[in-house]
């Protein structure tokens, strides 16, 4: 009996701007292969891409960092949590690894981090894969709009945010909108909750939640970037996402009309139950976009 080539993955820390950034990186069979930068979402970390790395990592170089305030990355006391600072650290992480061209996979928080990188260095972006990474007002549900409107001075605002940081809130983000919750392994949300319960992590998430409005204020600039640069784009989207519904996926076609769009009957974390469908799409896209 023969088996597919197993993916070799390394797990390292890299000191970036006083932050000890943890990342996963596949070691493909060849050096001259497409590079995919995987930018994770809330409340997760690079572990959300473990299965995708296992499937594709022997053919491509996949790099997945944890942001400050997430996963195994260690940020110093007093780190100012904002999306600008997450992008700053990610930018310098990319520089430290010597990456000058890559396809960028943006999911959830990965979209505001990734689009900030794209605005600064459009030449870095060989292509764009979007999985429930919103950049349009169309893609904001009523619940998302209410959440984004929260401000520190409003009574009960912080308590509302902290309500999402509980085991029930974290599990709900994985299972809401999913056709078969039994298809969602508990490993993802339980590991996310472990990290959320570490000292200082909830405070980091509250600060980022209060800063989320800054992303909406950038939507127009990101849409203009897409129109100007028209990167090869693949959109794979959980259509039943309670935060970022399907109109947010379709909206990309206004600015990147040649984008390839696939909607799946699932929720926010589409890779959890649709990896067999999504992984081949990613592989085919990497081959086309890299050329």
For 187-210, how does the pLDDT look when each residue is reduced to its tens digit (9 = 90+)? 999 999 999 999 999 999 999 999
Among the listed residues 213, 208, 255, 215, the one whose alpha carbon sits nearest the alpha carbon of residue 235: 255
> What's the pLDDT band for 256 if we cut at 50, 70, 90?
very high
Cα–Cα distance measured from residue 158 to residue 45, given in angstroms and rounded to the nearest whole number: 22
Which alpha helices (H) appear in 57-130, and where do they start and end?
A: 83-97, 110-120
Question: In angstroms, what CA-CA distances link 260 with 4, 22, 93, 144, 257?
Answer: 28, 32, 29, 25, 9
How large is the average pLDDT for residues 213-231?
98
> What's the pLDDT band for 5 if we cut at 50, 70, 90?
low
**Average pLDDT in the chain:** 96
Tell me the two tokens of residue 16: 């970036």
For 105-149, how does the pLDDT look when each residue is reduced to its tens digit (9 = 90+)? 999 999 999 999 999 999 999 999 999 999 999 999 999 999 999
Tell me whether residue 75 is in a domain.
Answer: yes
For 43-56, how does the pLDDT look when each residue is reduced to its tens digit (9 = 90+)? 999 999 999 999 99
> What's the pLDDT band for 12 if we cut at 50, 70, 90?
very high
For 157-171, how does the pLDDT look when each residue is reduced to its tens digit (9 = 90+)? 999 999 999 999 999
Tell me the two tokens of residue 261: 């769009």
Which alpha helices (H) appear in the chain, and where do they start and end?
A: 50-56, 83-97, 110-120, 142-148, 157-163, 167-175, 187-196, 201-211, 213-229, 247-255, 270-290
Tell me whether residue 60 is in a domain.
Answer: yes
pLDDT value at residue 2:
45
Q: Answer whether residue 74 shows pLDDT above 60.
A: yes
Tell me whether residue 272 is in a domain.
Answer: yes
CATH number at residue 127: 3.40.50.1820
Query: Please, are residues 208 and 81 in contact by the beta-carbon 8 Å criterion?
Result: yes
Residue 209 domain boundaries = 8-290
Query: Please, are residues 106 and 133 in contact by the beta-carbon 8 Å criterion?
Result: yes
Tell me whether residue 2 is in a domain.
Answer: no
Residue percentage of the chain with pLDDT more than 90? 96
Among the listed residues 193, 190, 180, 187, the one whose alpha carbon sits nearest the alpha carbon of residue 273: 180
> What's the pLDDT band for 4 if we cut at 50, 70, 90?
low
> What's the pLDDT band for 6 if we cut at 50, 70, 90?
confident
Tell me whether residue 3 is in a domain.
Answer: no
Tell me whether residue 1 is in a domain.
Answer: no
Query: Please, are residues 39 and 51 in contact by the beta-carbon 8 Å criterion?
Result: no
Work out the burial of residue 51: count CB atoms within 10 Å of its CB; fewer than 13 is exposed, 13-18 middle, 19 or more buried.
middle
Tell me whether residue 206 is in a domain.
Answer: yes
- How many domains does the chain divide into? 1
- Give me the active site residues, please: 268
């Amino acid at each position: 009996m023969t088996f597919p080539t197993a993916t070799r993955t390394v797990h390292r820390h890299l000191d970036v701007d006083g932050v000890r950034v943890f990342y996963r990186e596949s070691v493909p069979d060849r050096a001259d292969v497409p590079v995919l930068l995987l930018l994770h979402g809330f409340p997760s970390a690079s572990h959300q891409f473990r299965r995708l790395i296992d499937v594709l990592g022997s053919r491509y170089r996949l790099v997945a960092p944890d942001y400050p305030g997430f996963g195994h990355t260690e940020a110093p006391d007093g780190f100012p949590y904002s999306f600008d600072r997450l992008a700053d650290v990610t930018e310098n992480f990319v520089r430290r690894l010597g990456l000058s061209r890559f396809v960028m996979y943006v999911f959830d928080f990965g979209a505001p981090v990734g689009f900030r990188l794209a605005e600064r260095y459009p030449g870095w972006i060989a292509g764009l894969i979007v999985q429930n990474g919103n950049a349009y007002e169309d893609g904001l549900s009523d619940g998302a709009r209410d959440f984004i409107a929260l401000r520190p001075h409003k009574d009960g605002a912080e308590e509302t945010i902290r309500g999402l940081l509980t085991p029930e809130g974290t599990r709900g983000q994985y299972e809401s909108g999913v056709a078969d919750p039994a298809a969602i392994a508990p490993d993802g949300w339980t590991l996310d909750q472990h990290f959320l319960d570490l000292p200082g992590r909830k405070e980091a998430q509250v600060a980022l939640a209060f800063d989320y409005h800054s992303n909406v204020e950038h939507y127009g600039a990101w849409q203009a970037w897409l129109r100007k640069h028209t990167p090869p784009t693949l959109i794979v989207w959980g259509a039943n996402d309670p935060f970022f519904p399907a109109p947010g996926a379709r909206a990309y076609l206004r600015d990147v009309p040649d984008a390839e769009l696939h909607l799946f009957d699932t929720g926010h974390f589409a890779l959890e139950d649709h990896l067999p469908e999504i992984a081949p799409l990613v592989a085919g896209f990497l081959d086309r976009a890299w050329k």
